A and B are shown apart, each in its own frame.
Chain A
Amino acid sequence: MSAESIGMGIFGFVVLYGGLFYFLRIAMKSKGL
């Protein structure tokens, strides 16, 4: 697997899962789930 593909894979995971957990964390800190 090329370094470019690995980079894009990490980019995708960081944005999507980072975003998801970031907003979940905000929810947990204020009103909770």
Chain B
Amino acid sequence: MVRELWGSRLGFILAAVGSAIGLGNIWRFNYLVYSNGGGAFLIPYFVALFTAGIALMVLEFGLGDKFRGSAPMSMRKGNRRFEWIGWWAVVGGLIITMYYVVVISWAFVYVFKSFTLAWGEDTKAYFFGNVLQLTDSPWQLGGFSLEVLVGVVVIWLINWFIDVGGVKKGIEKANMIFMPLLWILAIILVIRGVTLPGAWGGIDWYLKPDFSRLTDYSVWLAAYGQIFFTLSLGMGIMIAYASYLPEDSDVVNNAFIVSFANCAFSFLVGFAVFGTLGYMAQATGQGIGDVVAQSIGLAFVVFPKAISMLPALKVFTAVVFFLALVVAGLSSSISLVEAFAASLMDKFGLERKKAVNITVAVGFLGSLIYATKGGLYWLDIVDHFINTYGLVLVGLLEAVAIGWIFGADKIKEWVNRNSEVNAGPWWDVSIKVITPLVLVVLLLFDIKSNLDAPYSGYPISALGLGLVIILGGMVVSAVLSAKQAEVE
């Protein structure tokens, strides 16, 4: 089968940036800055970007470009025993997609709710009570929340439609629209945010540096963790995307451009978020600490509340905000679907349509549990475990397997053939020493905190099932890896 190729370098870069920019860029990065020393956090963040993030990006791009395959195939070509790592990366990615699509569907539902500002005064009660209809425990699924279910079907259909279209006519074309649109939406939100009364007070809190926090190891761990998660590493995405590059492509400079674009977007959006929070704090006479939030709480509770309090352009701002979440989410979810579908195509010689059909069908079935009224609990539990035992573990195994066993030199030699910027000795040190070391520390801290106390106070039985889902994913990866390949 002839491998598809990107139509242009710009198409590849936009697709990779689209994959990296996700919901976390909008609702997580700025909170991390605020809660880890303000502007001082930028120092460990940049150190992490230069010493680990870009190096791992070069590694994943290099693997895909050299071996012309999805994560399992590329790892297999490196060493037959490594194929399992590639499968665990994409199976973990598919598990993430199952709940990620549900979160996008919430934002999708909120785009329509924005026209009437349907959330009213009590945004928290509206989101958890009316939209999610959240039950009391993970063991009470309570049937489906209908509007969430409809949203999930729509978002999966959009993913199917884009991925089935192929690399050039599907993913590249979609990102050629998604990326400029997302940056325009972000700039609109920033202009709206910084022009509100009290906005600069909020931004002051976002950036005010507390340099004493730099002696706190947890700040450095947070920075390395954020860099690792924000760049869409450890899920086989960048390996699959790079496998569609033409033979003489630049790899190292592309990795720099994608990494910088992703982080630049996060930093910019922080001005929109903290500008709006600053306005809200001033309007309610509260401190920023009383209104600040991250993740789901920021997007579906605090922001709708802030939007309702705006002096003008409420509906417009709400539509722009939730549309930005949908676009950021979609450009990431299509890359996750592609990483898994490409693996099926490579291993079993499937046609694209069949591979995407299987991926979307399995993904949709997996999403159903998260679309139930108790789904949020399962989302939280599975997300917690997959981040540790999926992404971090895969990143660690990748760095060790390629850096120490396959040989970092071989990848470095390959990527430097056509690169405008060479990977120098810094790259070897990063892949062989810094990245594995940091990821081991992250892994150990997570394991320790899991052993110290049950995560978020969930029942042990629910946490156990969450862990079983992850272990099940690992077993599936081992089985897929052991199966005889149709295409060698």
* Residues of chain A whose beta carbon lies under 8 Å from any beta carbon of chain B: 1-2, 4-9, 11-13, 15-17, 19-20, 23-24, 26-27, 30-33
27 A-B residue pairs with CB within 8 Å = A1-B200, A1-B201, A2-B208, A5-B39, A5-B204, A5-B209, A7-B39, A8-B207, A9-B207, A12-B42, A15-B42, A16-B264, A17-B264, A19-B260, A20-B261, A23-B257, A23-B421, A26-B253, A26-B420, A26-B421, A27-B250, A27-B254, A27-B257, A30-B250, A30-B420, A31-B420, A32-B9
Q: With contacts A5-B204, A5-B209 known, is A20 near B257, CB below 8 A?
A: yes
Smallest CB–CB gap between A1 and chain B, Å?
4
Which residues on the A side are within 8 Å of B62 (C-beta)? none
Smallest CB–CB gap between B253 and chain A, Å?
6
Q: With contacts A5-B208, A9-B207, A17-B264 known, is A24 near B38, CB below 8 A?
A: no
Given contact pairs A20-B264, A26-B421, A27-B420, enumerate 12 new A-B contacts (beta carbons under 8 Å). A1-B203, A5-B204, A6-B207, A8-B207, A8-B208, A15-B46, A19-B256, A23-B421, A24-B257, A27-B9, A30-B250, A31-B420
- The answer to whether B42 and A8 have CB atoms under 8 Å apart is yes
Which residues on the B side are within 8 Å of A13 (C-beta)? 267
Q: How many residues of B contact A (CB 8 A)?
A: 29
Distance, CA A12 to CA B476, complexed state (A) = 43
Binary CB contact string for chain B from 2 to 16 against chain A (1 if under 8 A, 0 otherwise): 000000111001000
- DSSP majority for the A interface? helix
Smallest CB–CB gap between A20 and chain B, Å?
4
User: Residue B40 at the A interface, CB < 8 A?
Assistant: yes
Q: Which of A9, A17, A23 contacts B39 (CB 8 A)?
A: A9
User: Residue B263 at the A interface, CB < 8 A?
Assistant: yes
- The answer to whether B204 and A2 have CB atoms under 8 Å apart is yes
By Cβ-Cβ distance, the 4 closest A-B pairs, closest first, are A8-B39, A20-B260, A16-B264, A5-B207
Smallest CB–CB gap between B415 and chain A, Å?
14
- The answer to whether B257 and A11 have CB atoms under 8 Å apart is no
- The answer to whether A12 and B421 have CB atoms under 8 Å apart is no
Binary CB contact string for chain B from 244 to 274 against chain A (1 if under 8 A, 0 otherwise): 0000001001101100110110010000000
Distance, CA A24 to CA B8, complexed state (A) = 15
Distance, CA A28 to CA B13, complexed state (A) = 13
Which residues on the B side are within 8 Å of A6 (C-beta)? 207
Distance, CA A16 to CA B208, complexed state (A) = 18
Smallest CB–CB gap between A22 and chain B, Å?
8
Which residues on the B side are within 8 Å of A30 (C-beta)? 250, 420
Smallest CB–CB gap between B3 and chain A, Å?
20
Distance, CA A2 to CA B201, complexed state (A) = 9
Q: Which of B13, B204, B256, B267 contacts A12 (CB 8 A)?
A: B267
Distance, CA A15 to CA B121, complexed state (A) = 40
Closest to A15 in B: B46
Distance, CA A32 to CA B260, complexed state (A) = 18
- The answer to whether B250 and A23 have CB atoms under 8 Å apart is no
Smallest CB–CB gap between B92 and chain A, Å?
29
Enumerate B261-304 residues with CB–CB distance to A below 8 Å.
261, 263-264, 267
Distance, CA A14 to CA B304, complexed state (A) = 32
- The answer to whether A16 and B10 have CB atoms under 8 Å apart is no
Closest to B208 in A: A5
Distance, CA A11 to CA B262, complexed state (A) = 17
Q: Which of B9, B38, B267 contacts A16 (CB 8 A)?
A: B267
Binary CB contact string for chain B from 392 to 418 against chain A (1 if under 8 A, 0 otherwise): 000000000000000000000000000
Q: Which of B8, B46, B204, B257 contacts A1 (CB 8 A)?
A: B204
Which residues on the B side are within 8 Å of A33 (C-beta)? 8-10, 13
Smallest CB–CB gap between A27 and chain B, Å?
6
Distance, CA A11 to CA B383, complexed state (A) = 33
Distance, CA A19 to CA B40, complexed state (A) = 19
Which residues on the B side are within 8 Å of A26 (C-beta)? 253, 420-421
- The answer to whether A16 and B200 have CB atoms under 8 Å apart is no
- The answer to whether B42 and A11 have CB atoms under 8 Å apart is yes
Smallest CB–CB gap between A17 and chain B, Å?
5
Which residues on the B side are within 8 Å of A17 (C-beta)? 264
